[in-house]
Every structure is written in C-alpha cells, then in structure tokens.
Amino acid sequence: MNQYYKDIIKISWPIIIGQLGMVFTGFFDTLMVGQLGYKELAAAGVCNSIFFLVAVFPMGVTMAFATIVSILQGKNKTSSYTLLARDSALITLGLSLVTSLVTYIFIKEFHVFQQTEDVAALAIPYLTLLMWSMPPMLIFFFAKNLCDGFSFTLGGMVITLAALALNVFLNWVLIFGHFGFPAYGLNGAGYAT
C-alpha cells in the first residue's frame, strides 16, 4: 500500500468513528426517549428534525474551515492561520446566534407543524433546550474542523466519544430520575444534550 492510502486511512478513521459517535448519540436518545411513550418519541422526532434542519447550514460552513486550512497548508501560508481562526470563530458565533434565533421563531410558531396538543406541549420545552445547545455544538464543530484541516482528527473523535458516553449517562440520570434527580422525562434528554 502506498503512502497516499496510508495517509487517507490515518486521517479518516477517527473522522469515521467520530461520525458514528454522533449517530449513536441520536440512536441512544431515541432509544431512551422511546421508553417514555409514543407522544414523547413523536415530540423528540419533530424537534430533532427541526433542530438539524436549522443546524445543517452552519455545520456545513464549519466543515469548509477544514478545507481552507488544508489549502493554506498546501500553499505554505502559515501566517494566515491566526486570521482564519479568528474569522472562523466570528462566523461560527454569528451563525450560532442566527440559528438560535431561527429555532426560537420555530418554537414561537410551533403550530405551523400541525402537531397534536399533547405532542406540542412536550415538544416546545424540549426544542427550547435544544436551542440552547446550538452555540456550544457549533463551537465544537468549528474547533473540530480546524483541527481536521491540520490532520489532527483524533481529538474530535475522542471528544465526540466522551460526549456520547456523558450524554447516555446524563440521559439515564435525567430522563428516568437517578442519583436523587427527578425524572424529567423528555426534557431530561434536552438537558443531557
């Protein structure tokens, strides 16, 4: 196997494992919320669809940061790294505010999704909790994608897997009420996120 293929494997396997970690986070959220009942599961499904519909644009923008870092590395323009990091951070913060605002509008106008009153009553507080997770999530993607651009892909994987383990544990504690915490139900999954 030539060096090109070895480099691809070395750089890509942590990205693949990290992506699987993100998929498993959603999987375990759904599995645990599903134990609460069909209304909670319906509310989570609607909210997660709205959340990721809003989040896909800024997530895509942060993915471009890795490409830009790689281009700068290829051109040996190391003096531009600081400017790129600063500008990328500002873009990420701006996008996190915009996406949080869009999510807030969806919360206020939730009736447009034509859900039953029971599902809407569960969904609105849950989506509100997800809204608060948008800025930290996008900041993570900003940092991860900058690191990926430098071929340091292991860090993002480790953080994603640690977040997965923490999320599953906090789901168990906060959804079902363990260690003296009340059972928050669906909102417990929102707090865990």
How far, in whole angstroms, is CA 146 from its chain's centroid? 16
**H helix runs in 75-116, sequence order:** 81-108
In the prediction, which pLDDT does 74 show?
81
| Angle between helical axes of 154-176 and 3-34 (0-180°, round to 10) | 10
In the prediction, which pLDDT does 19 show?
92
Q: Quick one: tokens of 39?
A: 């209304």
Distance CA 155, CA 14 (A): 8
In the prediction, which pLDDT does 82 show?
81
**Where do the structural domains in the chain lie, given as residue ranges?**
3-192
pTM: 0.88
In the prediction, which pLDDT does 129 show?
96
Are the C-beta atoms of 20 and 159 separated by less than 8 Å? Answer: no
In the prediction, which pLDDT does 71 show?
86
In the prediction, which pLDDT does 77 show?
76
48 to 109, 134, 145, 148: CA distances (angstroms): 16, 12, 23, 26
In the prediction, which pLDDT does 153 show?
87
Are the C-beta atoms of 178 and 40 separated by less than 8 Å? Answer: no
In the prediction, which pLDDT does 120 show?
96
Are the C-beta atoms of 153 and 15 separated by less than 8 Å? Answer: yes
In the prediction, which pLDDT does 114 show?
94
Q: Quick one: tokens of 54?
A: 């809003």
Are the C-beta atoms of 96 and 141 separated by less than 8 Å? Answer: no
Q: Tell me the pLDDT of the chain (193 aa) as tens digits.
A: 788 888 888 888 999 999 999 999 999 999 999 999 999 999 999 999 999 999 999 999 988 888 888 888 888 877 777 888 888 899 999 999 999 999 999 999 999 999 999 999 999 999 999 999 999 999 999 999 888 888 888 999 999 999 999 999 999 999 999 999 999 999 999 999 8
Quickly count: other Cβ atoms within 10 Å of residue 14's Cβ.
19
